């Protein structure tokens, strides 16, 4: 490897060094604040290293990794979201018994796996990145020692994740057996020449199944509400944003680079999955009383929305998907951030009753949560509205009318359960019940307040003035479209 190759990979090296340094610090002295400081410093340095890498891109580093504007955009998004998740973890685990330090080892490893995923140009790096991310998430989902729910969530995610990985591996083996290549760029020529051979279509079907599990798309979504409910709140935020965002970025690169979407059977399968996810996610979300499960079913629907952009032809589809993903990550981090700061040492604030009358106790938190829910619903002046509008425009440009119609109609159903939570936030409780809160309103951590305020400002800024982000995304997507 040359010096420029090392410069191109510098953000990944910094993330890996952060995990190792945090591990060594824990071995010598356990200190929650010190370990957090190492993790946050590493993420900040990794973000700054993006400019070092940008000076030598685009660059193919061996046959496994390609570092281009698209990869750097998503690495920056991954590092930023992990930075926020680490801060949320500090306030959450500080209130609980046990040793929280290893969280700041697992988070960099998961971010490293995600960064490898978005930079992958080969099936081998695809697998390495996916497994590094998945193994870290299995441990994070079961990290809290109190209660049975985290352990149950970790076991469910482990068993189903391992099964989906086996399906994914077998699909890749079938593709390699037919084409004799694992390189994304060579797959396009090979698929075009091979036509619709049985092994290729079977392999792609298995790959779609494996990735569908990671994205919680219907019918591979059954793990989502249980894992969202059982995992610690900041871990759920990380799982719903960084994990899904990196897998979706890989999905876009893989299928666009391989040209697999030109196969009618593949396009039809993705269309059915997208429509099913939008319908099931919103309808099942209407039946929930647990806030974390509501957000879990909401994420299923939003992955369906993203699939509309994914299926749209040309660069507009990839651009709308990237923009919507940014809006979604900001919104979900903010929503789960509110859940995190309200959670108590013995339980998460996940019941709908925990938020009844929150405005009259914590007006700032109620307003922030309201804005996050309105963004998920796609209400104007929020980032979610611009993202959803952009996706509809991309779907209309590619004449995917069935997908667009489903998106619009199911969004109406989604509005119901978002408004249900919002009404609960501003509901005045009976006078007899006002003396005792369901969750004691202790003093919020300073870090939690700053994080939630920053996410709210970003949400509104992108919703009102999205031009700078759109310009950045346009230049990033040009890397491979």
Q: Tell whether the model's pLDDT for residue 205 goes beyond 80.
A: yes
Burial class (CB in 10 A: 0-12, 13-18, 19+), 114: buried
Q: Tell whether the model's pLDDT for residue 354 goes beyond 80.
A: yes
Rounded CA-CA distance 27/162 in Å is 30
For the chain, the domains span 263-481
Q: Tell whether the model's pLDDT for residue 355 goes beyond 80.
A: yes
> Would you report the helix, strand and coil content of the chain in percent, each value rounded to 5?
80, 5, 20
* Cβ pair 395, 312 in contact under 8 A: yes
Q: Which residue has the higher pLDDT, 4 or 335?
A: 335
Quote the DSSP letter at residue 347.
B
Per-residue pLDDT, 74: 93
Rounded CA-CA distance 108/15 in Å is 6
- Six-digit token string for 21: 């340094």
Q: Identify which of 376, 375, 258, 255 has the alpha carbon closest to the alpha carbon of residue 312.
A: 255
Which of 72-86, 199-213, 297-311, 316-330 bottoms out in mean pLDDT, i.e. has the lowest?
Answer: 199-213
User: What is the phi/psi pair of residue 60, to 5°?
Assistant: -90, 115
Q: Using 50, 70 and 90 to split pLDDT, how confident is the model at 145? A: low
- Six-digit token string for 286: 């209407």
Beta-bridged to residue 120, according to DSSP, are 65
Q: Tell whether the model's pLDDT for residue 121 goes beyond 90.
A: no
Which of 77-91, 161-175, 277-291, 427-441 bottoms out in mean pLDDT, i.e. has the lowest?
Answer: 427-441
Q: Tell whether the model's pLDDT for residue 406 goes beyond 80.
A: yes
Per-residue pLDDT, 313: 66
Per-residue pLDDT, 480: 63
Per-residue pLDDT, 219: 87
Q: Using 50, 70 and 90 to split pLDDT, how confident is the model at 60? A: confident
How high does pLDDT run on average in the chain? Answer: 86
- Average pLDDT of span 58-68: 86
Rounded CA-CA distance 65/9 in Å is 9
Rounded CA-CA distance 328/347 in Å is 26
Q: Using 50, 70 and 90 to split pLDDT, how confident is the model at 446? A: low
> What are the E-state strand segments in 305-367?
none
Q: Using 50, 70 and 90 to split pLDDT, how confident is the model at 331? A: very high
Burial class (CB in 10 A: 0-12, 13-18, 19+), 199: middle
Q: Using 50, 70 and 90 to split pLDDT, how confident is the model at 259? A: low
Q: Using 50, 70 and 90 to split pLDDT, how confident is the model at 407? A: very high
Please report where in the chains the tokens 């298995």 appear, as a residue.
206
- Average pLDDT of span 192-197: 58
* Cβ pair 384, 374 in contact under 8 A: yes
Q: Tell whether the model's pLDDT for residue 152 goes beyond 80.
A: yes
* Cβ pair 179, 116 in contact under 8 A: no
Per-residue pLDDT, 432: 46
Indicate whether this model's pTM tops 0.75. Answer: yes
Please report where in the chains the tokens 């700053």 appear, as a residue.
450
Q: Identify which of 317, 309, 302, 279 has the alpha carbon closest to the alpha carbon of residue 376.
A: 302
Q: Using 50, 70 and 90 to split pLDDT, how confident is the model at 193? A: low
Rounded CA-CA distance 309/317 in Å is 5
Burial class (CB in 10 A: 0-12, 13-18, 19+), 389: middle
Q: Using 50, 70 and 90 to split pLDDT, how confident is the model at 39? A: very high
- Six-digit token string for 472: 């950045």
Per-residue pLDDT, 436: 47
Rounded CA-CA distance 92/347 in Å is 11
Per-residue pLDDT, 435: 46
Beta-bridged to residue 122, according to DSSP, are 183
Q: Identify which of 244, 397, 250, 245 has the alpha carbon closest to the alpha carbon of residue 315.
A: 397
Rounded CA-CA distance 64/198 in Å is 27
* Cβ pair 149, 230 in contact under 8 A: yes
Q: With residue 67 as reference, give the H or E element that holds it.
A: strand 65-67
Rounded CA-CA distance 457/391 in Å is 23
């Amino acid at each position: 490897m040359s010096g420029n190759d090392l410069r191109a990979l510098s953000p990944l090296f910094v993330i890996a060094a952060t995990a190792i340094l945090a591990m060594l610090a824990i071995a010598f002295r356990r200190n929650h604040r010190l370990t957090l400081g190492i993790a946050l410093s590493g993420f900040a340095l990794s973000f700054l290293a993006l400019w070092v890498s940008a000076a030598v891109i685009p660059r193919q580093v061996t046959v496994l990794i390609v570092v281009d504007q698209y990869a750097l955009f998503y690495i920056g998004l991954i590092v930023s979201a992990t930075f926020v998740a680490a801060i949320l973890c500090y306030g959450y685990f500080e209130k609980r018994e046990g040793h929280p330090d290893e969280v700041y080892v697992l988070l960099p490893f998961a971010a490293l796996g995600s960064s490898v995923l978005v930079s992958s140009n080969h099936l081998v790096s695809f697998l390495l990145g996916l497994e590094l991310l998945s193994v870290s998430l299995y441990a994070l989902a079961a990290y809290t020692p109190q209660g049975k729910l985290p352990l149950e969530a970790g076991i469910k995610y482990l068993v189903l994740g391992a099964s989906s990985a086996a399906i994914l591996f077998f699909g890749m083996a079938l593709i390699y057996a037919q084409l004799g290549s694992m390189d994304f760029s060579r797959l396009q020529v090979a698929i075009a020449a091979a036509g619709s051979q049985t092994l290729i279509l079977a392999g792609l079907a298995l790959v779609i199944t494996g990735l569908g599990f990671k994205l919680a798309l219907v019918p591979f979504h059954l793990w989502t509400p249980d894992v969202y409910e059982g995992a610690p709140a900041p871990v759920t935020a990380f799982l719903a944003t960084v994990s899904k965002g990196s897998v979706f970025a890989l999905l876009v690169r893989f299928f666009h680079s391989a040209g697999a979407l030109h196969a009618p059977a593949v396009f039809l399968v993705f269309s059915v999955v997208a429509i099913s996810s939008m319908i099931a996610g919103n309808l099942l979300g209407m039946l929930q009383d647990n806030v974390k499960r509501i957000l879990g079913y909401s994420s299923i629907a939003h992955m369906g929305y993203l699939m509309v952009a994914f299926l749209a032809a040309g660069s507009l589809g990839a651009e709308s998907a990237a923009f919507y993903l940014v809006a979604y990550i900001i919104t979900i981090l903010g929503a789960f951030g509110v859940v995190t700061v309200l959670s108590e040492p013995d339980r998460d604030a996940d019941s709908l009753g925990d938020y009844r009358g929150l405005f009259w106790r914590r007006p700032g938190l109620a307003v922030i949560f309201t804005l996050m829910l309105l963004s998920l619903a796609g209400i104007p002046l929020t980032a979610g509205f611009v993202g959803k509008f952009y996706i509809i425009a991309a779907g209309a440009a590619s004449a995917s009318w069935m997908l667009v119609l489903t998106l619009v109609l199911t969004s109406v159903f989604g509005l119901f359960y978002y408004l249900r939570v919002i009404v609960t936030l501003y509901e005045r409780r009976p006078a007899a019940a006002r003396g005792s809160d369901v969750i004691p309103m202790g003093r919020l951590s300073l870090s939690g307040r700053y994080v939630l305020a920053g996410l709210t400002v970003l949400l509104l800024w992108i919703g009102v003035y999205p031009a700078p982000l759109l310009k950045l995304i346009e230049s990033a997507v040009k890397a491979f479209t």
